């Protein structure tokens, strides 16, 4: 199955795709590629207020965010709550959950860009909950709790990046 086919299944929020990539150790590179694409798209979406540096910032924030969020989910879910998974499984599942982030470029559209980016963020969060549920083998309620706690850390990271990044070029 091609990467595009896998991403399409994620975009449709098919839970089975996360089970498949969880077990497929060769999918780690694909997950990383998705994070890169989503990061570039995020950077394009931020060009209006960050300029060209938005591309670099979007890419770095995407990679660091993926690693950070995966690590936090691992600490909370596996170490804290004693659910079953390993870091590789989480990296693959959560990397694929970034798939809706490929649409973050819509942020560049004047007026409607920010609300559209918000919708993309919600789409990514839903994909993350499904990915966490499948990777940790828990019910949806527990996946929401673990994902929310992980998102709080991710959100604080985003705020810090925003504070540290000048908004004028």
Phi, psi of 13 (to 5 degrees): 60, 40
What is the pLDDT tens value at each position of the chain, 169 positions in all? 899 999 999 999 999 999 999 999 999 999 999 999 999 998 888 777 667 777 887 888 889 889 988 999 999 999 988 898 999 999 999 999 999 999 999 988 988 998 999 999 999 999 999 999 999 999 999 999 998 888 887 778 778 877 776 654 4
Q: What is the CA radius of gyration of the chain?
A: 15
Contact 129, 147 (CB under 8 A): yes
- Residue 167 is predicted with a pLDDT of 54
The alpha-helical segments, DSSP class H, found in the chain are: 3-11, 15-23, 28-45, 47-50, 53-73, 87-97, 113-136, 140-164
What does the pLDDT look like over 31-57, one tens digit per residue?
Answer: 999 999 999 998 888 777 667 777 887
- Residue 150 is predicted with a pLDDT of 83
């Amino acid at each position: 199955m091609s990467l595009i086919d896998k991403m399409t299944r994620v975009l449709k929020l098919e839970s089975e795709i996360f089970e498949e990539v969880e077990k497929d150790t060769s999918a780690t590179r694909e997950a990383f590629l998705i994070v890169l694409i989503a990061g570039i798209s995020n950077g394009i979406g931020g060009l209006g207020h960050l300029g060209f540096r938005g591309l670099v910032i979007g890419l770095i924030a995407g990679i660091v965010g993926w690693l950070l969020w995966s690590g936090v989910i691992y600490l909370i879910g596996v170490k804290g709550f004693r659910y079953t998974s390993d870091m590789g499984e989480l990296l693959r599942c959560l990397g694929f959950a970034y798939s809706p982030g490929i649409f973050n470029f819509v942020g560049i559209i004047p007026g409607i860009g920010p609300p559209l980016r918000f919708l993309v963020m919600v789409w990514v969060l839903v994909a993350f909950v499904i990915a966490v549920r499948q990777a940790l083998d828990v019910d949806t309620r527990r996946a929401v709790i673990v994902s929310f706690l992980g998102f709080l850390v991710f959100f604080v990271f985003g705020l810090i990046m925003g504070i540290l990044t000048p908004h004028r070029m």
